Amino acid sequence: MRSEQQQVVFLAWQDPASRAWFPIGRLSCEGGEHYRFVYTRGFLRAREAAGLAPLIGFPEVEQIYESSELFPLFKNRIMSRQREDYSSYLERMALPEAPSPLSLLARSAGRRTTDSFEIFPYPLVRGEQGDLRFRVDFFVHGIRHMPKEAAARAGELAPGARLYLVSDWQNPEDPQAVAVRTEDKVLLGYVPRYYGEDLERLRQVRAPARVEVLQVNLPPAPVQQRLLVRLDAPWAARTAPLSSDVYQPLADAPPAALAG
């Protein structure tokens, strides 16, 4: 499968009290050397609901920040190439030898134990035939919260195995939640929460979505990095994915770019 270098990612923050997640910013890169960060309207919701203050290094919420180097907030979320386990880390992420910083952030989610941020990729890309695709690679979420059989079944899967999406509209925490199951109907976990609205749009137009296993990482890899999958579907909607209000920039930033 062709591997795109990620050009746009979003930053989300979790309120420690309510456990609610808010998309609060967008980071993009042009030409591999020009970075741009802008707050989104989700930051305003997080500030109103949970008192989130502007981030260190980004004090003005209606400003576009630009740099020839990756901003420290994001750079500190990437494993150093000097670490002895860097090569094995790339193998676990199923990334090439020299991935772009945004590709690393998109795949790893940029999580740290010291804060409540995570990073997720913009999913619209150009397919090999030039068509627009909703394509996102992600580690299946929530495996550690599923019955033990889920992690065991995930470990038995082979690259290329077909998986299926299941709407979990009765989920009290997220009515747009979408679960991932095997062909024999074992629930494994969830698609990242940010794509639920767009997956519902794809379902309504009966888009032929395909989910398949890219890689399985057995222990001692952490369970949250156990099952890497790809979700791919044609995108024919008039509006782009992640088009709801919380993803819209507070400053007049250019629209999200396409990979490929």
Annotated domain spans of the chain: 1-122+242-260, 123-238
Amino acid letter at 14? Answer: Q
Domain 123-238, CATH number (from 3.40.50.2020, 3.40.50.1460, 3.40.190.10, 3.30.70.2330): 3.30.70.2330
What pLDDT, in 10s, does the model give residues 92-106? 999 988 899 999 999
What is d(CA 135, CA 6) in angstroms, rounded to the nearest whole number? 11
Contact 150, 186 (CB under 8 A): yes
Positions in the chain short of pLDDT 70:
1-5, 257-260
What is d(CA 15, CA 196) in angstroms, rounded to the nearest whole number? 20
What pLDDT, in 10s, does the model give residues 119-136? 999 999 988 888 999 999
What pLDDT, in 10s, does the model give residues 186-229? 999 999 999 999 999 999 999 999 999 999 999 999 999 999 99
Look at residue 6 in the predicted model and tell me its pLDDT.
78
Neighbours of 140 (CB within 10 A): 25
